[in-house]
Amino acid sequence: MEESAERKRVEEALRESEKRYKLLLGSVTDYIYTVQVQGGRSVATVHGPGCAAVTGYAPEEYAADPGLWYRMVYEPDRPAVTTQAVAILAGEAASPLEHRILHRDGSVHWVRNTPVPHYDQQGHLVAYDGLISDITARKQAEQELQISEARFRTLTEDAPTAISMSRRGRVVYANPTYLRMFGFERAEELNNRPTIELFAPQCRDEVMERANRRAQGLPVPREYESIGLRADGSEFPMLVAVITMQFAEGPALVGFITDLTGPKQVAEERRRLEEQLRQAQKLESIGRLAGGVAHDFNNLLTVINGYAQLLLRDLKAGDPLRDSLEEIHSAGERAAGLTRQLLAFSRRQVLSPRVLDLNRVVSEMQPMLARLLGEDVELRVELHAGAATICADPHQLEQVVMNLTVNARDSMPDGGKLRIETAVVEWGEGQARSHPDARVGRYVVLAVSDTGVGMDEETRNRIFEPFFTTKGIGKGTGLGLSMVQGIVAQSGGYIDVYSEEGQGTTFKIYLPALAEAAADAENPEVAPTVGGKETVLVVEDQAEVRKYAVAVLKEYGYRVIPVEGAGEALLLCERERIDLVLTDVVMPHISGQELAERLKTLQPGIKVLFMSGYTDNIIEHHGVLEEGAEFIEKPFSPGELARKVRTALGSPAKPVRQER
């Protein structure tokens, strides 16, 4: 009786348990199933009511169609599902499996299938339960996260800006650009490195001050310039931008760094070119003034020196007036030299360019330069192995070498070394950009280097200014280097100067190279001082110069007609035959060049000789005379004028007097 009551109690408890199980099963939205196993094979499957919520199919449909579940599995994932079932039936450890299924509505869902095996007392598998959860939302979130991470990685990994992330003052991430910028090969070399070590020592106090202010919540500029320290110890300018960002792991500082080396170089190059332009404009203004002064002064010196020479020829040795007159003439010659310097600086002097081998010019000057330097300065000359052919005025080129040599000697009061070198170089776009209006191509280089006291930057920036000198009072005019620059510029060349205090100075002069051509072997012969009987028309608005030229030409036998301006000259040539016109270049109303063109129309075959203190109007390119133009530079001596007139007229006559 008691046994029957106990059995009824147990059965009642079992029914109550099954009832609670069914209620629990019905309340679960996940898909729960049970598979019965006999002899290692599944023989029956019970599908819980949650299957409809996960798959769209009711339990009755699964019961009526045992193959429905397998067909519902997404085809590419069926091998994995089969493998899981085989492993469970074989008694192997059951692992959860994530795979896809085809929902009844045709959509693809992700599910997680977690099996739980059951064994009898003998250890045989008798059943296994399974829980299938719809994880589609989680999978979509993971996929979006992966896409976001991939997008972020692409943006950071391929970004041209260096990007880093740091926490508690140490680097936790750096993109490839950051690694390259700071000279690291692998990310591991930067991981956990203190960020302060990536700043140059002189900037670290300022960086720490910014970090402290940021930690205290005080305002800190987002961007600032600093100096970075590469792995090899080299420094570079950089622009740093720092922001705070929130991540799942907590806040972090994200830094964006731009290497300013290129922009700084561009800015410095722009500043240098602007300074060159300002200097050129300033020198151009001063040059115009200097050229005008030299022109007027040359008119006066033409008269002073010319008459002094005329008088000296007529005074015998021992004449009490001769010494005084020679002093006057000597002072006039020195003044003429000064005006030549002014004209060279203002780029208005006359050049007589010829095809030259720069090597030969320097070689011929070497003995004289050695004597000029003295015994305490060692002279070394290293010439380019091949020809260094240029087109330049040899006398002006010699003046350039002389001036640079004298300056070098003065910078070595205790002795030293002077090296003069020639070379041929090819300028590309980069070198040509360093000088306004420069062109790419071949250049012949004349380098003059000394081991003297050198110059600071301020001095170096002013050395070509007229009348600027570092020498004592009475020891220099300050026109030497201005003249050098003027001659080089007129010759189509450029100058670079390299100098530091205590390290000496190097001047490099670049002159356009010519294709291999025969350089002039000898100086042209000077025509003898001869006169003639031809008619010469002298056109000069300065009365003193006009009177002097007339006196000289009459002394050499010419018939001379003086006029003040171009108008009188044109009227005269309409009624009288003229053999040669000696005309000033710069005159009121009509220039000498325009006058010459009109006279050649009136009298075809008429000869023209130009004269001027500067040649601005008859210079085609930086002081080079037009093809075939005859020219005499003021001030000129009586003999020089006579020779030029005779050369312009042609058909040399017999000498009319002996020069003293």
pLDDT of residue 537: 94
**Amino acid at residue number 593:** Q
Q: Which are the contacts of 169, defined by CB distance < 8 A and separation ≥ 6?
A: 194, 195, 196, 211
Superfamily of segment(s) 159-259: PAS domain (3.30.450.20)
What architecture (CATH level 2) is domain 535-649?
3-Layer(aba) Sandwich (3.40)
599 within 8 A of 581, measured Cβ to Cβ: yes
**Which residues face 624 on adjacent strands?**
351, 621
pLDDT of residue 230: 92
pLDDT of residue 525: 46
Is the pTM of the predicted complex or chain greater than 0.95? no
Superfamily of segment(s) 354-512: Histidine kinase-like ATPase, C-terminal domain (3.30.565.10)
SS3 370: helix
pLDDT of residue 251: 84
| Residue indicated by tokens 């469970």 | 88
Fold of domain 14-141: Beta-Lactamase (3.30.450)
Residues carrying CATH 3.30.450.20, the chain:
14-141, 159-259
Residue closest to 535 by CA, chosen among 555, 571, 551, 559: 559
What region does 474 belong to: left with phi over 0, alpha with psi -120 to 50, or beta? left
**What angle, 0 to 180 degrees and rounded to 10, lies between the N-to-C axes of helices 543-555 and 638-649?**
70
Task: Kindly list the distances between the CA atom of residue 357 and the CA atoms of 360, 517, 624, in Å, as whole numbers in the listed order.
Answer: 5, 9, 19
Cα–Cα dist 448/398, whole Å: 13
pLDDT of residue 8: 67
Cα–Cα dist 117/543, whole Å: 130
Cα–Cα dist 623/617, whole Å: 10
Q: Which are the contacts of 406, defined by CB distance < 8 A and separation ≥ 6?
A: 372, 480
Q: In what order do the strands lie in the sheet with 125-134?
A: 41-47, 31-38, 125-134, 108-119, 97-102
pLDDT of residue 623: 39
Ranges of the chain whose pLDDT falls below 70: 1-29, 273, 276-297, 334-352, 385, 430-431, 436, 466-480, 516-529, 613-628, 651-660
608 within 8 A of 581, measured Cβ to Cβ: yes
Residues carrying CATH 3.40.50.2300, the chain:
535-649
- CB count in 10 Å sphere of residue 40: 10
pLDDT of residue 15: 59
419, two tokens: 């090296």
